[in-house]
Amino acid sequence: MSRAKRSNDWGFPRWRGYGGAREAAKVRLCDRHGCTEPGTCPAPKSPNSPDRWMFCQRHAAEYNAGWDYFAGLDAEEAAQREADETRDNSGYRESAHYGWATSGDGTRSRDELRALDLLDLTPDADFDAIKKSYRAKAKEVHPDLRPGDEEAARAFQALQLAYEVLRAAEERREWKG
């Protein structure tokens, strides 16, 4: 008479390594046709639907690349939604008070970021770098150096406005700090 062999997996601790079970592991593949990567990133099939696509990271990024949060809203509704979210998330700005926050972490306004983009600077640029970039770019398009050039005049005005926005923001920071 033969006895059944006792399993090593009963009770705690588990004696074999995890993943050492005899059954096959269930892996859901990416829902993109022809992809053989595991589908670990859920994406909605349609708005307000519980059904989800399961994509690999590469295809999830591709799926979300064209997603527009404000699609289908008119300008007034989009502005209201943005204002609501800004109000709801404004508590995170408090971190700037503690000194470990820098200008590259969301403490700059959208206008400041546009101005920095016009000056080809990163969001964490200090005011000396702003002055230096403004002066260099203003010399290239100054109306005295390019008389009669309408495009240069417009570019110079845009640079002046960008500098004014950043200077005013810097003054506010100095006043608060």
CA-based angle 42:47:53, to the nearest 5?
Answer: 25
Distance of alpha carbon 119 from alpha carbon 165, whole angstroms:
12
- Under DSSP, the state recorded for 88 is H
Q: What is the pTM of this model?
A: 0.43
- Report helix, strand and coil shares of the chain as percent, to nearest 5: 50, 5, 45
Per-residue pLDDT tens, the chain, 177 aa: give them. 566 666 655 555 555 566 566 666 788 899 999 999 999 988 888 777 788 889 999 998 888 887 777 778 888 998 998 888 877 766 666 665 555 555 556 678 888 889 999 999 988 888 999 999 999 999 999 988 888 899 999 999 999 999 999 999 999 888 776
For 9, residues 6+ apart whose C-beta sits below 8 A from its C-beta are: 15, 16
What is the C-alpha radius of gyration for the chain, rounded to an integer number of angstroms?
A: 28
Distance of alpha carbon 165 from alpha carbon 67, whole angstroms:
31
Give the residue extent of every domain in the chain. 25-92, 102-176
Report residue 161 as tokens: 């406005």
Contact (Cβ atoms closer than 8 angstroms) between residue 171 and residue 127: no
Pick the CATH number of 102-176 from 1.20.140.10, 3.90.190.20, 1.10.287.110, 1.10.569.10: 1.10.287.110
CA dihedral 4, 6, 11, 12 (to 10 degrees): -170
Q: Minimal CA–CA distance to 138: which of 161, 155, 122, 123? A: 155
